[in-house]
């Protein structure tokens, strides 16, 4: 009988639903789960132990999962709604990651002794993609570097 109780999903209490919603929103916004202290602050709890008590209860009830020995490893088992793409805008976490990737591509091309047309074209495409995603400022910050690479390669069409 005990096995059946732990394997079935029990609806969360009002406080637990509030905690689940906070965790879901935090993960959506930042791309990783919140720490117990961030949960404590975000929900105006007075103790990390209170957070731990609610989190452990939600794990037992089947609403959360946690990977052992990993920081920020909370996962909502059944999110209330699947993330929907409603526009071409991206979150702060994705923006930081994407700009880092573009920076890495530029560094690789700039480190090469010969710049090929295809590499410069790919970088120009990346900057266009940044603009489409609403990151005009980030795209603009790379324009001078792209122009320098174009000058190094006069054969470009």
Confidence (pTM): 0.48
SS3 35: coil
122 close to 148: Cβ distance less than 8 angstroms: no
DSSP for 73-93, written as a single string: -EEESS-SS-----SS---HH
Whether the pLDDT of residue 94 is over 50: the answer is yes
Whether the pLDDT of residue 3 is over 60: the answer is no
- pLDDT of 49: 92
Q: Find where tokens 């120009």 sit.
A: 124
For the chain, domains (ranges, CATH) are 10-76 (1.10.10.10), 92-152 (no CATH)
Sorted by sequence, the CB contacts under 8 Å of residue 63 that are 6+ apart come out as: 9, 12, 16, 20, 76, 77, 78
Query: Could you report the per-residue pLDDT of 103-156, keeping only the tens digit for each?
Result: 888 888 888 766 678 888 888 888 888 888 888 888 888 888 888 888 877 664
Query: Could you report the per-residue pLDDT of 9-38, keeping only the tens digit for each?
Result: 678 888 888 888 898 888 888 778 898 999
Of the candidates 119, 121, 96, the residue with the CA atom closest to the CA atom of residue 108: 119
User: How confident is the prediction for the chain on average, in pLDDT?
Assistant: 80
């Amino acid at each position: 009988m005990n096995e059946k109780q732990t394997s079935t999903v029990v609806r969360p209490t009002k406080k637990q639903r509030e905690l689940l919603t906070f965790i879901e929103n935090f993960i959506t916004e930042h791309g990783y789960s919140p720490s117990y202290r961030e949960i404590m602050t975000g929900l105006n709890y007075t103790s990390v132990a209170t957070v731990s008590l609610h989190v452990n209860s939600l794990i037992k009830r089947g609403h959360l999962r946690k990977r052992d020995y990993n920081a920020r490893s909370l996962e909502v088992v059944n999110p209330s709604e699947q993330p929907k793409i409603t526009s071409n805008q991206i979150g702060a976490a994705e923006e930081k990651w994407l700009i880092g990737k573009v920076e890495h591509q530029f560094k690789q091309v700039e480190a090469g002794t010969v710049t090929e047309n295809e590499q410069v074209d790919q970088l120009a495409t990346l900057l266009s993609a940044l603009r489409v995603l609403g990151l005009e400022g980030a795209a603009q910050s790379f324009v001078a570097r792209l122009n320098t690479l174009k000058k190094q390669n006069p054969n470009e069409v």
